[in-house]
């Protein structure tokens, strides 16, 4: 620079870069960039365009100069005008006479009182050399119309691009941390929905668990005390979908089922019909729930169940070494306002094992994508029915883990084991 000392400009650039690196607020950073751009070359106007819409357009962020309020947020095609040329060619330009340059198409400035005389326009290149937008200054001090300032201006733009990306990464990290924290809280809340202790019923062993495929799941199991002598309720349910939406519907199911069963313990069909109506009215049209609800009279050893579209439970008849499917059932909950829910009953003999489960058990997959299958599960039940209920729970979880052999869990795994011991 023959007519202007370069050293103060370099020091100014260093100060500007320091300012960029000291803020994590995207709006503040954009404002600092645009003001620094204008001040560095004593420009009448400056602007920063960022690529958007998959690189098809350039969006003007925070301009300075005439018609600032009207221009902010406006878009131009990414191949339009001088800015578009800079993006396409990924090269900086210094134009002493804008009006005579064939690439000049007015950009976004249409104020008749403002005429563009000269311009510096450079690509915003991040650390990976990727162009994310352009930075320009219009009507700058003529002492800065030289290659040295063009190089410094490009350096400023590159530092601005890096700062912008760093801020975006930090914002994404903070958002991810917030989501993770919310998921942790949701997981803790959902854990409280599951039984905190196993009922101690004379002549029976009971075990149950639910292992969500994600932080929170859509499966539900419960032990429900019944206000009738010698009776207890057991339920396993599966909400469509996974994650937080499914867990919210699961919470609704739990509240509705407990209330209706305890208010109407002698008519479980009517209680489940009321739950169905609640789910139908209060859930999205594409959400529904399958469930198996069982009412056990643990003195008479009689089990009554209502299956709402759920996979049939199994009962191991240990005396003759066979597995029976409890195949009576109706439609899933929440799909229609009124549904037919048939009820069935059976006796539980000494040594018999009742297994209520979600399809996450039989549809567990290995690395080849093969399902564990109902046949394998039935064989497992016969081979392990001599174990206690708690031992069976631990053994089944270990079996499914070994079968997966490192394959990610594709669905929630939920089950209840009910074994008559005397």
Same domain, 159 and 213: no
Residue 6 has pLDDT above 60, yes or no: no
Q: Per the domain annotation, does 271 fall within a domain?
A: yes
Residue 248 belongs to domain spanning: 194-420
Same domain, 66 and 163: yes
| Residue 269: other Cβ atoms inside 10 A | 16
Same domain, 165 and 225: no
**pLDDT at position 2:** 45
Same domain, 242 and 383: yes
The structural domain count of the chain equals 2
Lowest-pLDDT range, 2-11, 17-26, 185-194, 373-382? 2-11
Same domain, 278 and 321: yes
Same domain, 150 and 203: no
Is the CB of residue 33 less than 8 Å from the CB of residue 48? yes
* Arithmetic mean of pLDDT, 139-162: 85
pLDDT, tens digit (0-9, with 9 covering 90-100), for 369-395: 999 999 999 999 999 999 999 999 999
Q: Which CATH number belongs to the domain containing residue 306 in this structure?
A: 3.60.40.10
Lowest-pLDDT range, 63-72, 91-100, 200-209, 326-335? 63-72
* Count of alpha carbons within 13 angstroms of residue 87, beta-carbon side: 23
pLDDT above 90: percentage of residues in the chain: 53
pLDDT band at 15 (very low <50, low <70, confident <90, very high): low
pLDDT, tens digit (0-9, with 9 covering 90-100), for 207-222: 999 998 876 778 999 9
Q: Per the domain annotation, does 188 fall within a domain?
A: no
Q: Per the domain annotation, does 181 fall within a domain?
A: no
| Residue 344: other Cβ atoms inside 10 A | 13
Q: Per the domain annotation, does 182 fall within a domain?
A: no
Per the prediction, the chain carries an average pLDDT of 86
Same domain, 151 and 235: no
Same domain, 382 and 276: yes
Query: Under 8 Å CB-to-CB from 102, ≥6 apart: which residues?
Result: none
Q: Per the domain annotation, does 385 fall within a domain?
A: yes
pLDDT band at 329 (very low <50, low <70, confident <90, very high): very high
Same domain, 99 and 216: no
Q: Which CATH number belongs to the domain containing residue 119 in this structure?
A: 3.30.450.40
Name the pTM for this structure: 0.64
The three-state secondary structure class of 124 is strand
Q: Per the domain annotation, does 22 fall within a domain?
A: yes
Same domain, 34 and 161: yes
Q: Per the domain annotation, does 365 fall within a domain?
A: yes
Q: Per the domain annotation, does 309 fall within a domain?
A: yes
Is the CB of residue 412 less than 8 Å from the CB of residue 358? yes
> CA dist 88 to 85, 97, 98, Å?
5, 21, 19
Q: Helices 26-40 and 147-193 meet at what angle, rounded to 10?
A: 180
Same domain, 158 and 228: no
Same domain, 134 and 220: no
User: What's 408's DSSP letter?
Assistant: P
């Amino acid at each position: 620079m023959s007519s202007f000392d370069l050293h103060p400009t370099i020091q100014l650039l260093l100060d500007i870069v320091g300012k960029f690196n000291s803020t994590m607020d995207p709006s503040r950073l954009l404002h600092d960039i645009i003001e620094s751009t204008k001040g560095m070359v004593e420009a009448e106007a400056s602007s920063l365009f960022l690529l958007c819409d998959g690189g098809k357009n350039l969006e003007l962020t925070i301009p300075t100069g005439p018609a600032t309020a009207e221009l902010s947020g406006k878009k131009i095609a990414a191949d339009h005008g001088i800015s578009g040329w800079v993006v396409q060619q990924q090269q900086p330009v210094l134009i002493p006479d804008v009006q005579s340059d064939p690439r000049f198409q007015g950009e976004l400035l249409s104020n008749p009182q403002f005429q563009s005389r000269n311009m510096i326009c450079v690509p915003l290149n991040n650390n990976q050399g990727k162009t994310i937008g352009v930075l320009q200054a219009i009507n700058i001090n003529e002492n800065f119309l030289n290659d040295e300032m063009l190089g410094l201006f490009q350096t400023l733009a590159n530092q601005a691009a890096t700062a912008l990306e760093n801020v975006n990464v930090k914002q994404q990290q903070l958002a991810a941390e917030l989501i993770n924290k919310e998921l942790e809280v949701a997981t803790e809340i959902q854990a409280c929905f599951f039984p905190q202790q196993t009922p101690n019923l004379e002549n029976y062993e009971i075990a149950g668990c639910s292992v969500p495929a994600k932080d929170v799941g859509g499966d539900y199991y419960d032990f429900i005390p019944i206000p009738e002598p010698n009776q207890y309720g057991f339920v396993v349910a599966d909400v469509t979908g996974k994650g937080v939406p499914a867990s919210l519907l699961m919470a609704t199911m739990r509240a509705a089922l407990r209330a209706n069963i305890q208010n109407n313990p002698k008519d479980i069909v009517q209680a489940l019909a009321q739950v169905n109506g609640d789910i139908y009215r209060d859930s999205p049209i594409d959400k529904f729930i399958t469930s198996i609800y069982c009412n056990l009279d643990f003195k008479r050893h009689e089990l009554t169940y209502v299956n709402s579209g759920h996979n049939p439970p199994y009962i191991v008849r240990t005396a003759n070494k066979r597995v029976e499917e409890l195949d009576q059932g109706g439609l899933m909950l929440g799909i229609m306002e009124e549904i037919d829910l048939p009820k069935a009953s059976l006796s539980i003999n000494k040594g018999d094992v009742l297994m209520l489960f979600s399809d996450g058990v039989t549809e567990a997959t290995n690395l080849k994508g093969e399902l564990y299958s109902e046949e394998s599960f039935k064989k497992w039940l016969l081979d392990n029915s001599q174990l206690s209920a708690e031992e069976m729970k631990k053994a089944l979880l270990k079996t499914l883990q070994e079968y997966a052999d490192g394959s990610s869990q594709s669905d929630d795994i939920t089950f209840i084991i009910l074994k008559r011991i005397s």
